[in-house]
Amino acid sequence: MTVTERGDAATPETAHRITVRCQFCETWNRVVAERASDRPKCGKCGKPMLIDRPIALNDDTFARTVTESEIPVLVDFYADWCGPCKIMAPSVDQLAAENQGKLLVAKLDTDRAPRTAQSYDIRGIPTTILFRAGKEENRLTGAAPLKALQQLAGV
Ligand SMILES: [Zn+2]
């Protein structure tokens, strides 16, 4: 008897994969980016992976998420007390919703992830960085309108 993993037969060779940690049970999941709109579920706890909105990264999850993503990753480096970050947040949400499957949008709280913020030399927030194949490609400092974020991400 053959056991087929659910949905595997339908995955094209050209599919791009992302690796995201479930925010409920902290299990790492490989997800096909092109299927983001199917609301993929965590393989362990079955809860939705919620990649149609910015995913929260921290010092533990940043490197793996950014390095293993086969689609570009846009990271909003922000802090809770930062006014301009709050102004920009709806645009970041919109970018995530409109580009699911093509672009992984993430947020990193610089107060809670000082190691990562320091390693990218974040001096002012918000700072938005686009990563491709794990490497910084470009960045914007200051609150950016949606159009500037789209331009940065190349979408
Ligand atoms: Zn889970």
If one counts every other C-beta atom within 10 angstroms of the C-beta of residue 121, the result is: 8
> Which whole number is the average pLDDT over 28-47?
93
- Output the CA 41–ligand 1 centroid distance in Å: 8
Q: What is the per-residue pLDDT across 40-97, written as a single tens digit (0 to 9) for each?
A: 999 999 999 988 899 999 999 999 999 999 999 999 999 999 999 999 999 999 999 9
Q: Shortest CA distance to 104 belongs to which of 144, 60, 53, 141?
A: 53
- Output the CA 46–ligand 1 centroid distance in Å: 6
Min mean pLDDT across 7-11, 67-71, 135-139 is at 7-11
Binned at pLDDT 50, 70 and 90, residue 8 comes out as: low
Catalytic residue among 22, 25, 45, 85: 85
- Output the CA 45–ligand 1 centroid distance in Å: 4
22 is catalytic: no
What residue spans define the domains of the chain?
51-153
45 is catalytic: no
**51 or 104, higher pLDDT:** 104
> Which whole number is the average pLDDT over 116-144?
97
> Which whole number is the average pLDDT over 16-25?
96
Concatenate the DSSP letters of all residues of the chain into one string: -----TTGGG--TT--EEEEE-TTT--EEEEEGGGGGG--B-TTT--B---SSPEEE-TTTHHHHHHH-SS-EEEEEE-TT-HHHHHHHHHHHHHHHHTTTT-EEEEEETTT-HHHHHHTT--SSSEEEEEETTEEEEEEES---HHHHHHHHT-
Pairing between β-strand 73-78 and β-strand 127-132 as defined by DSSP bridges? antiparallel
- Output the CA 82–ligand 1 centroid distance in Å: 30
Contact 73, 65 (CB under 8 A): yes
Q: Which residues surround ligand 1, an ion (CB under 5 A)?
A: 22, 24-25, 27, 42, 44-45
- Output the CA 53–ligand 1 centroid distance in Å: 17
CATH superfamily ID and name for 51-153:
Glutaredoxin (3.40.30.10)
